[in-house]
Amino acid sequence: MAQVKGKKAGFGAVLWDYLTTVDHKKIAIIYLVAGGFFFALGGIEAMLIRAQLAVPNNDFLSAGLFNEVITMHGTTMIFLAAMPLLFAFMNAVVPLQIGARDVAFPFLNSLGVWLFVFGGIFLNLSWFLGGAPDAGWTSYASLSIASPGHGIDFYAVGLQIAGAGTLISGINFVTTIITMRAPGMTYMRMPLFTWTTLVAAILIVFAFPPLTIGVFLLMFDRMFGSNFFIVEAGGNTIIWEHLFWIFGHPEVYVLILPAFGIFSEIFSTFSRKRLFGYSAMVFATVLIGFFGFMVWAHHMFTVGLGPTANAIFALATMAIAVPTGIKIFNWIATIWGGSIEFTTPMLYALAFIPSFVMGGVTGIMQAAAPADYQYHDSYFIVAHFHYVIVGGVVFALLAGLHFYWPIITGTMLSEKLGKIEMVIFFIGFHCTFLIQHWLGLWGMPRRVFTYLDGQGYNTANMISSIGAALMAIAVIILLINIIKTLVKNEKVGTDPWGDGRTLEWSLPIPTPYYNFANTPLIRGIDALALEKEEGDGTIPAAGPVEAIHMPNNSFIPFMISFGLFVAGFGALYFASGKPWAIDAVANLPEKPWALYVLIAGLAITFISMGVRSWKDDLGYYIPKEELEADLRELEARERGAK
């Protein structure tokens, strides 16, 4: 409200507002800031890895520290950077795209973001509390049970907390898209970013519970003396691999599908054309989502599951190439004959097609199970997944940042700096990872902290490290761009790109906290483009202005998350020095307070939940008069602008 009325609020008030907010637009900003911070952290870790590997026999990082850095790089980038940044865009855009006032569960939305923030902090505190996890982001049980100290415990508890937040957000978006669409917004009229968000959210709902169970097994083994992975007691470490990849494979689709969605929006906006083959795109999205669950064992070809199992999973994996191919061709057909505008987001989108296809092709190579025995655990794999994750997801995140920046902040990033950043990032990306395909085929294994001189890896690794530095420079340019833009603070008006096609571009900027004064009426795909072509360029209202029901702000989500954060420390230190503990932590000093911390933390969480359930939280109404006044003010402003 303070923003809309143009009042200046003190720092404390703003902070309290963000801590208690249930507004999806502010939660998007929290996701963006926290995700951006972790992205920078993961990036620094990547730079450390490339600095260590730049020359042979390097001792910049010790072997143990190198393991910690690669583990934290992977974990941070996937769980704390890529996913939250996508959630930032989903929160900022999806409710606006479907014509909703907010998400279905504003309270849970806030709970999701705080769980993620606390989980991320918990995981990263490991650096200061006796060493980070060092068993790789996959944390295979045979390694992670043996890893001494509490590093892996930070991984397990941190992921458990952040994962709970992600699951909650997933349920929230599924419900939002099913129930909160404006009149006329049928499923087959939803913008593609909304569609991909829906499918990704469904994937989250089905993929995160197996991770929760897997991480619980790990937690129980490491912290409470159970025997799931202790082979002497009958345990079986393959269970972890299955559970992890049952989650892990859908997870990459959770990342890439919203990225596809962002690119679909960008392609059609800047080609000034409707997306080619809309229904085929929707169908392909759903199909990719479904197939995503049937292929997890292709990460485990060399485990020895047997030829029949490998063949089934190899076949299913190759099948995914079909819907993905449909998408690629549809994007090309969208650009074809369009009136193309080469903005920064569009450049990223154009660069994405060849980059992602290269990653896809190496994916098909690995899907052939017998050939995979050659690629397994080599730099070829590293090259492959960076081509799909960076060439797909990170390109989409950067493109989306430029594209949706006006909606999030009300200003426009500099296009000049943006294009420089894009070119440097693109060159740096290919420079880093293209050569790694050959490194892998020449026999360099992944996750080694150094290599010998004279193995023929020197030049290639140096090229790769130079590329990484280029990417870092590009990100720094982006940061400068962001800071400059925020300092200048030149506000833009409605539809700043001039070619907005979907509902979110029809809203005034800054968007009022209730989003739509009038519930919009949607008459077709690309609602705004349709009204521009056939109507007067404004979205018709579904009814008269009426009082709007809004949810109350709440501090309870923060408390629930904080409770779990505290409880995490109790669980983490519970096994230290206990006679029944695994060897990794049995000889550490005993922490008698651990149990009490665990109980206290859980008490905070459950009491907060009880309070939430006990109190009636009915929200409040924005009176009709206020809405009408806002509308008049807006009209006056637009007249002034003309």
Partner 1 sequence: MAEIRYDVPNEQWPVHPEKATLEGRNKFVGFWTFLAGETVLFASLFATYLALKDQVPSQEHLVAADLYHLELAFVMTMFLLTSSLTSVFAVYHMRNNNFGKMQLWLGITVLLGAGFLALEIYEFVEYVKLGHTFRSSAFGSAFYFLIGTHGFHVIVGLIWITLLIIRNANRGLSVYTAAKVNTASLYWHFIDVVWVFIFTIVYLLGVL
Partner 2 sequence: MAEQNHEQLTESQLKYLRMERTKEMRIQMISFGLMIFLTFIAFALVALEIDKNFVIPIVIGLAFLQVVLQFYYFMHMKDKGHEFAKLFILVGMYFAIAFVVCFIMIVWIGNPI
In the complex, the residues that contact partner 2 under the rule CB under 8 A are 178, 202, 205-206, 210, 236, 238-239, 242, 246, 293-294, 297, 303-309, 547, 549, 618-619, 621
The pair phi, psi for residue 29, each rounded to 5°, is -65, -40
> Which option in partner 2, partner 1, none does residue 208 bind, with CB closer than 5 to 8 A by kind?
partner 1
- Is 583 an interacting residue with respect to partner 1 (CB under 8 A)? no
416 vs 549, beta carbon nearer partner 2: 549
Residues whose CB is less than 8 angstroms from the CB of residue 572 and which lie 6 or more positions away in sequence, other chains included:
150, 153, 154, 157, 223, 594
**Angle at Cα 631 formed by Cα 627 and Cα 634, nearest 5°?**
140
178 vs 311, beta carbon nearer partner 1: 178
284 vs 585, beta carbon nearer partner 2: 284
- Is 295 an interacting residue with respect to partner 1 (CB under 8 A)? no
Q: Kindly state the number of chain residues that form the binding site for partner 1, as judged by CB under 8 A.
A: 49
Query: Identity (one letter) of the amino acid at 110?
Result: S
**Looking at residue 491, what DSSP letter applies?**
-
> Which option in partner 1, partner 2, none does residue 212 bind, with CB closer than 5 to 8 A by kind?
partner 1
Chain-centroid distance of CA 597 in Å reads 31
Q: Are the C-beta atoms of 331 and 340 separated by less than 8 Å?
A: no
Pairing between strand 620-622 and 548-550? Answer: antiparallel
- Is 220 an interacting residue with respect to partner 1 (CB under 8 A)? yes
Helices (H), 489-582: 527-534, 556-574
In the bound complex, what is the minimum distance in angstroms from residue 306's beta carbon to partner 2?
3
> Which option in partner 2, partner 1, none does residue 3 bind, with CB closer than 5 to 8 A by kind?
none
**Tokens 């790789």 label which residue?**
136
- Is 621 an interacting residue with respect to partner 1 (CB under 8 A)? yes
> Which option in partner 1, partner 2, none does residue 33 bind, with CB closer than 5 to 8 A by kind?
none
In the bound complex, what is the minimum distance in angstroms from residue 313's beta carbon to partner 2?
10
Query: Identity (one letter) of the amino acid at 642?
Result: K
394 vs 622, beta carbon nearer partner 2: 622
**Tokens 């923003």 label which residue?**
3
Among 639, 637, 573, smallest CA distance to 601 is for 573
Residues whose CB is less than 8 angstroms from the CB of residue 181 and which lie 6 or more positions away in sequence, other chains included:
98, 99, 100, 190
In the bound complex, what is the minimum distance in angstroms from residue 233's beta carbon to partner 1?
5
In the bound complex, what is the minimum distance in angstroms from residue 502's beta carbon to partner 1?
23
Q: How far apart are CA 224 and CA 151, in angstroms?
A: 16
536 vs 583, beta carbon nearer partner 1: 583
Binding mask 588-617 for partner 1 (x = CB under 8 A): ----------------------x--xx-x-
Number of Cβ atoms within 10 Å of the Cβ of 418: 24
In the bound complex, what is the minimum distance in angstroms from residue 576's beta carbon to partner 2?
31
Q: Are the C-beta atoms of 144 and 71 separated by less than 8 Å?
A: no
* Alpha-carbon dihedral 26, 27, 33, 34, rounded to 10 degrees: 160
In the bound complex, what is the minimum distance in angstroms from residue 610's beta carbon to partner 2?
22
> Which option in partner 1, partner 2, none does residue 580 bind, with CB closer than 5 to 8 A by kind?
partner 1
78 vs 204, beta carbon nearer partner 1: 204
Residues whose CB is less than 8 angstroms from the CB of residue 290 and which lie 6 or more positions away in sequence, other chains included:
none
Binding mask 94-123 for partner 1 (x = CB under 8 A): ----------xx--x---------------
> Which option in partner 2, partner 1, none does residue 303 bind, with CB closer than 5 to 8 A by kind?
partner 2
Residues whose CB is less than 8 angstroms from the CB of residue 178 and which lie 6 or more positions away in sequence, other chains included:
198
535 vs 619, beta carbon nearer partner 2: 619
Is residue 143 helix, strand or coil?
Answer: helix
342 vs 621, beta carbon nearer partner 2: 621
Q: Which of 22, 49, 69, 174 binds partner 1 (CB under 8 A)?
A: 174
Q: Which of 33, 205, 318, 530 binds partner 1 (CB under 8 A)?
A: 205
272: left (phi over 0), alpha (psi -120 to 50) or beta: left
- Is 187 an interacting residue with respect to partner 1 (CB under 8 A)? no
- Is 620 an interacting residue with respect to partner 1 (CB under 8 A)? yes
Q: Are the C-beta atoms of 116 and 38 separated by less than 8 Å?
A: no
Residues 221-280 that bind partner 1 (CB under 8 A): 221, 224-228, 230, 232-236, 239, 242-243, 246
Q: How far apart are CA 130 and CA 142, in angstroms?
A: 21
> Which option in partner 2, partner 1, none does residue 304 bind, with CB closer than 5 to 8 A by kind?
partner 2
295 vs 408, beta carbon nearer partner 1: 295
Q: What is the DSSP string of 77-97?
A: IIIIIIHHHHHHHHHHHHHHH
- Token pair for residue 431? 């420079």
Residues whose CB is less than 8 angstroms from the CB of residue 373 and which lie 6 or more positions away in sequence, other chains included:
301, 302
Q: Which of 93, 115, 145, 171 binds partner 1 (CB under 8 A)?
A: 171
> Which option in partner 2, partner 1, none does residue 279 bind, with CB closer than 5 to 8 A by kind?
none
325 vs 619, beta carbon nearer partner 1: 619
242 vs 437, beta carbon nearer partner 2: 242
> Which option in partner 2, partner 1, none does residue 233 bind, with CB closer than 5 to 8 A by kind?
partner 1
- Token pair for residue 506? 């029809």
Q: Are the C-beta atoms of 123 and 162 separated by less than 8 Å?
A: yes
> Which option in partner 1, partner 2, none does residue 294 bind, with CB closer than 5 to 8 A by kind?
partner 2
60 vs 224, beta carbon nearer partner 1: 224
Q: How far apart are CA 53 and CA 73, in angstroms?
A: 15
- Is 325 an interacting residue with respect to partner 1 (CB under 8 A)? no
In the bound complex, what is the minimum distance in angstroms from residue 256's beta carbon to partner 2?
20
Helices 24-53 and 11-20, packing angle to 10 deg: 90
- Is 543 an interacting residue with respect to partner 1 (CB under 8 A)? no
Number of Cβ atoms within 10 Å of the Cβ of 449: 19
- Token pair for residue 443? 């026999």
| End-to-end Cα spacing for the chain | 26
The span of 17-25, 79-87, 215-223, 273-281 binding partner 1 (CB under 8 A) equals: 215-223
- Token pair for residue 228? 């799931």
**Looking at residue 354, what DSSP letter applies?**
H
The span of 80-88, 174-182, 410-418, 632-640 binding partner 1 (CB under 8 A) equals: 174-182
In the bound complex, what is the minimum distance in angstroms from residue 618's beta carbon to partner 2?
6
Q: Are the C-beta atoms of 132 and 180 separated by less than 8 Å?
A: no
- Is 540 an interacting residue with respect to partner 1 (CB under 8 A)? no
Q: Which residues bind partner 1 (CB under 8 A)?
A: 104-105, 108, 167, 170-172, 174-175, 178-180, 205-206, 208-210, 212-214, 216-217, 220-221, 224-228, 230, 232-236, 239, 242-243, 246, 549, 580, 610, 613-614, 616, 618-621
